[in-house]
Structure 1
């Protein structure tokens, strides 16, 4: 019985070019002995012809050769294979020229007559650089593929949004319109029970239309290009509070706004976050006798933590994870109106800004919503004194 030892794969495939045959042969032999696969030529023209047929990892070329010198050879070789790395060989008197060759694209150079202890680390370094460049190219290609896939997914999402907008809204409008016509034009013939059912049909059609509108809004925000401007949060919140208070019809509601540092982000999207959180605070304090809403901020771990706190209905912390789900609600629609998408929008916007959002609360004791944003790079943000 005989056994064969498997042949180890070469360390790398080297193309060696030197017009001095003895130098070329000696270098090929020495490098073959330590595990490299070598192919040698004394003609740069012939080496380039062979390179078009076979793939190599490195080309080691003499700097001064007839027909085509080492610099020109490396340029043409890299035009054939952009990932092929080149090393030039030169005598002691031509080091300046070798450096010029590196500026022209060679990775390194070795002096002739060569020594194995010198050329080995040069080859190892060149192979490491080649491996790194190949890995980067692979990552870039995968990134291009992912971008293509995302672009396709976005087109499909836009198509879906168009379908939702046109194909679903039309029958909903018909249901709502015909139900209203029945109630208005045939009220005498319709029994009270049937009239109540038709009223519920109309109300649910309106609610469905509202859900579709909010879903489209959620989809649009997810694809909107993000701006990175300095946003003056204090001025923004003051305007939002003023608008919301006008809608409250003089309901007794105490609102306090602390110092709110500027942030880096998209002003339109961040405004939506504060509108959603403040509108919730106003809504869920509606049945609270001495309703209060507080807005504040503090600086923590190189980011600003903003919060909106109220003393309203609150929620059970066991269900806190459901708060930010699309169309998730912890209160009955008969008690507090809404579609359950406002907090989902807020979460998506904050996450797109690189921040976090979370909530704390208790049933009947109110709720506090926190979220983080990065301050402007040139802002001297002072820690807020408001406790968490």
Structure 2
């Protein structure tokens, strides 16, 4: 049977399974090939491992059935080499001198099944079916991995294009914007005394709008960068991190007299710079929306709920209508008029993205005129 091929019927006549059968005993090889003849398998019979390797190419066979004990290269060594050539091929090892040790070694080498001689045809067919099912699963996994790799490559290419576009657009937007702001400043410097009060107000509006547009471009760049920034996870002690954020905010808002209640915060696994941004945005909002509140209060803390740590930032400021809560975390969506509170509506969108990238979720609760509470989780935390 050496080197010969046979084709039969196994219920899949359109694409018969291709078996490579290796046995150094001619009688055994002939018997096995003969028994499988007429079952629909496309068979290549070989009397040695060396001969089998001549026939084996990536994708040339679906399954290898090999004797364990053979002169020269044994079945386990052949299994390793076959899988090196074609990682998807299924392998069935056959032997008359099997031990637990050889069976374990065969499985470690990559064999999917192990049969002891003499064996019944039904047992061989069942082992072949198991092996072919395993090969199909490997093939599906390989195809899925390939699709995922292609998708990741496409996403990386799209991100690079988006990054280039964002930077180009921000540059193209800033150039005329800076010109407008520059000429407005020159006009104020050299002609302010000749302008009527209403014209001076128009000039102030131009300057204010230009600066607001510059901040909006900065927010766009920050929002775009956030989606591509790699997480640098490590243990982060939130207590000193949030204290540092508060010190920053107090330096810039020294006139704000809010009473701040600081609860216990655990150490978490996360990206320190991104988590700092979360608290910076939430606390900036709390300071902003309690600016006109008598006896303003801001509370920072965490609590264990349903087996997870829930972090919170609460205030008793202006609050908002929960009927508009769906818009809360959408970029550039604002729930207050610009003349009431400044901002571009990006801060909470950044909070949501950072929290989601840490495997958590974020939500809010509020009442108009009675304050707002923001809650978030960060996946698993370490206390």
The runs of 5 or more residues in structure 1 that have no matched partner are 1-5, 380-388
Alpha-carbon separation, structure 2, partners of 1:184 and 1:54:
78
1:61 counterpart SS class:
strand
User: Is 2:111 the partner of 1:112?
Assistant: no
Structure 1 stretch displaced more, 69-78 or 292-301 = 69-78
Query: Could you tell me which residue of structure 2 aligns to residue 166 of structure 1?
Result: 171
CA distances 1:80-126 after superposition (whole Å, capped 9, x unpaired) = 32221222322237886666555544333323332124323322332
Q: Is the 8 A contact 2:58 2:85 kept in 1?
A: no
Query: Could you tell me which residue of structure 2 aligns to residue 347 of structure 1?
Result: 352
Q: Is the 8 A contact 1:13 1:37 kept in 2?
A: yes
**Residues 133 and 362 from structure 1, CA distance in 2 versus in 1: closer, same or farther, beyond 3 angstroms?**
same
How far did 1:8 drift? 4.4
1:223 counterpart SS class:
coil
Query: Could you tell me which residue of structure 2 aligns to residue 125 of structure 1?
Result: 130
Structure 1 stretch displaced more, 338-347 or 7-16 = 7-16
Alpha-carbon separation, structure 2, partners of 1:248 and 1:78:
67
Query: Could you tell me which residue of structure 1 aligns to residue 264 of structure 2?
Result: 259
Alpha-carbon separation, structure 1, partners of 2:203 and 2:280:
34
Q: Is the 8 A contact 1:89 1:109 kept in 2?
A: yes
Alpha-carbon separation, structure 1, partners of 2:313 and 2:100:
69
**Residues 235 and 132 from structure 1, CA distance in 2 versus in 1: closer, same or farther, beyond 3 angstroms?**
same
Q: Is the 8 A contact 2:355 2:362 kept in 1?
A: yes
Query: Could you tell me which residue of structure 1 aligns to residue 6 of structure 2?
Result: none
Alpha-carbon separation, structure 1, partners of 2:130 and 2:234:
43
Q: 1:228 aligns with which of 223, 226, 233?
A: 233
CA distances 1:22-56 after superposition (whole Å, capped 9, x unpaired) = 42232223234555443334455554444349722
User: Is 2:277 the partner of 1:277?
Assistant: no
Q: Is the 8 A contact 1:262 1:375 kept in 2?
A: no
Scaled by the length of structure 1, the TM-score of the pair is 0.85
User: Is 2:95 the partner of 1:87?
Assistant: no
Q: Is the 8 A contact 2:236 2:268 kept in 1?
A: yes
Alpha-carbon separation, structure 1, partners of 2:135 and 2:221:
47
Alpha-carbon separation, structure 2, partners of 1:71 and 1:156:
49
| Count of aligned pairs | 373
1:92 counterpart SS class:
coil
Alpha-carbon separation, structure 2, partners of 1:363 and 1:93:
78
Query: Could you tell me which residue of structure 2 aligns to residue 290 of structure 1?
Result: 295
Alpha-carbon separation, structure 1, partners of 2:97 and 2:270:
58
Alpha-carbon separation, structure 2, partners of 1:236 and 1:375:
19
Alpha-carbon separation, structure 1, partners of 2:100 and 2:287:
77
Q: Is the 8 A contact 2:67 2:95 kept in 1?
A: yes
Alpha-carbon separation, structure 2, partners of 1:53 and 1:321:
53
**Residues 105 and 346 from structure 1, CA distance in 2 versus in 1: closer, same or farther, beyond 3 angstroms?**
closer
1:293 counterpart SS class:
strand
RMSD between aligned alpha carbons?
Answer: 2.8
User: Is 2:322 the partner of 1:312?
Assistant: no
Structure 1 stretch displaced more, 243-252 or 199-208 = 243-252
Trace 1:1-388 onto structure 2 (pairs within 5 A): 8-9=13-14, 12-42=17-47, 44-52=49-57, 55-65=60-70, 69-92=74-97, 100-187=105-192, 190=195, 192-374=197-379, 376-377=381-382, 379=383
Scaled by the length of structure 2, the TM-score of the pair is 0.86
